[in-house]
Amino acid sequence: MDVAVSKKKWVKIKKYFPFYLMMLPAVIYLIINNYMPLSGIILAFEEYSVKGGIYGSKLVGFDNFKYLLVTKDAWIITRNTILYNLAFIILGTVFSIFIAVMLNEVPGKRMKKIYQTVTLYPYLISIVVTAYLVNSFLSTETGFINKAILGSFGVENISWYSEPKNWPVIIVVVYLWKNFGYHTILYFSTLIGIDRGYYEAAALDGASRWQQTKYISLPFLKPTIITLTLLSIGRIFYSDFGLFYQVPMNSGALYDVTQTIDTYVYRGLMQLGDIGMSTAAGLYQSVVGFVLVLGANFAVKKISADDALF
């Protein structure tokens, strides 16, 4: 019995050995780049002193987390971070899929090529430069919108950077503009990997384009959609710093609608340079995202086990 079992195990390992070999370089890198520094998380519980170093500084329990949770702003920054991320996930997914499906329908390889390249262009510019470009639209005195559009309709100039109410829309629009190409590419590459045969067969059976999309394209996209959404949920407490700090030009009047956990930490700690407190913030964001993803992944496992992340 023992001999049989160990022989089986040996055969199994021999069978899968090449795969483990394939995975080795990445695993080594992740250990070096991600896992070795991980012990630095202890900084979140320390009052850092260069003399003591990372592992020898005084432990202060949860003191470093207080500034995030006890403050009056805690609710606002958490609410902003979560709501924006939800909007990004939902709108981003819908919009990217829409464009990917459209792309797939474009007749002619050359046009497909051109359109597809263009979708990635916004992704190329750094967010800081994007902030300047947004400023060229929204600047009170010289901005495109005030000068060219509102001016010609006789509407009074809007002081964009002082009025919070427009900004949720502005931020979502800028986010979509900059990032949709990224997701569209991923959805699109799945779509063109789908065997044309399916579509031809469906067309023969009299299915309309919409039906073809609904019953062939979308199901094929499901795994990618689920994967991307799960990954986004994991980062739901994080935000793109450039988007929420640079694009609103760091305008105080807009804090209530543009302050996220990341910007709050940055602004608050700018004077203090306290790495214990900033590590604590990172840990806080990680733990929440982690718990949420575990929950979501568990739910997905129940529905379609293959698509779960792990």
272 forms part of the interface with another protein (CB under 8 A): yes
Q: 3-state DSSP call for residue 296?
A: helix
Query: Quick one: which of 107, 87, 99 has its CA closest to 185?
Result: 99
Report the amino acid identity of residue 188. Answer: F
CB 152 to another protein: min, Å:
14
Binding residues for another protein, rule CB under 8 A, total: 132
Contact pick of 194, 202, 207, 218 for another protein (by CB under 8 A): 194
Cα distances from 286 to residues 93, 120, 233, 242, 279, in angstroms, run: 23, 29, 11, 19, 10
136 forms part of the interface with another protein (CB under 8 A): yes
Burial of 242 (0-12, 13-18, 19+ CB in 10 A): middle
Nearer to another protein among residue 93 and residue 224 (C-beta): 224
120 forms part of the interface with another protein (CB under 8 A): yes
Q: Which stretch binds another protein (CB under 8 A): 80-88, 164-172, 193-201?
A: 193-201
Q: Which stretch binds another protein (CB under 8 A): 84-92, 125-133, 164-172?
A: 125-133
295 forms part of the interface with another protein (CB under 8 A): no
199 forms part of the interface with another protein (CB under 8 A): no
Residues in the chain: 310
Angle (deg, nearest 10), helices 275-303 and 218-234: 150
Q: Which stretch binds another protein (CB under 8 A): 86-94, 130-138, 164-172?
A: 130-138
171 forms part of the interface with another protein (CB under 8 A): no
Contact pick of 94, 149, 151, 162 for another protein (by CB under 8 A): 162
Contact pick of 100, 171, 277, 296 for another protein (by CB under 8 A): 277
275 forms part of the interface with another protein (CB under 8 A): yes
The CA distance from 176 to 145, in Å, is 19
The CA distance from 130 to 279, in Å, is 28
155 forms part of the interface with another protein (CB under 8 A): no
Contact pick of 1, 2, 3, 25 for another protein (by CB under 8 A): 25
Q: Which stretch binds another protein (CB under 8 A): 86-94, 138-146, 164-172?
A: 138-146
192 forms part of the interface with another protein (CB under 8 A): yes
306 forms part of the interface with another protein (CB under 8 A): yes
CA 79 remoteness from chain centre: 17
Query: Quick one: which of 236, 230, 237 has its CA closest to 298?
Result: 230
Query: Quick one: which of 93, 116, 95, 94 has its CA closest to 104?
Result: 116
CB 2 to another protein: min, Å:
18
- φ, ψ for residue 299, nearest 5 deg: -60, -45
